[in-house]
Amino acid sequence: MQEVLSMTYLWLKAGHIIFIIFWMAGLFMLPRFYVYHQEATEGSAEAEQWVERENKLRKIILLPSIIIVWVLGLLLASTIGAWSQGWFHAKLLFVVLLSAYHMWLIGYGKKLARGERPLKGKTLRLLNEVPGLTVAIIVILVIVKPF
């Protein structure tokens, strides 16, 4: 199995990067959708359209992307023997945190769909920075491998 994974390493890596881009695009878009959703009048046709858009983004882009990122990432880690390397443990921690953020966003979207609006637009705009900062740290850990 290890030999097969080694032969397909570059394909795994390319797929992993491609789906990271899709995942990040979705994570950047979803909080922005939530801002617009919150600014729409509760119960209006516009608010309903935002619920539909959010659901499509989650089901068509975010869910498949996070699954593929995790599967390919774990295969890559096994291929290069990353499990014993400190940088990988740190990267894995940040990926877990980013995945938790993703799940939190899903929960927040469900609240919005029910008409609840616990956060202000400004807070959602600030939360929009979480994926960018997190992925910057992850890229540094993967490229620089500081430990």
Residues placed in the known binding site for heme: 16, 91
CA 84, CA 67: separation in Å to the nearest integer? 23
Position of tokens 């929009």? 128
Q: Supply φ then ψ for residue 60, to 5 degrees.
A: -90, -35
Residue 43 corresponds to which amino acid? G
CA angle at 29 for the pair 58 and 145, rounded to the nearest 5°: 95
Interhelix angle for 86-113 vs 9-39, to 10°?
Answer: 30
Annotated binding-site residue numbers: 16, 91
Alpha helices in the chain (DSSP H): 2-7, 9-39, 45-56, 63-80, 86-113, 121-127, 130-144
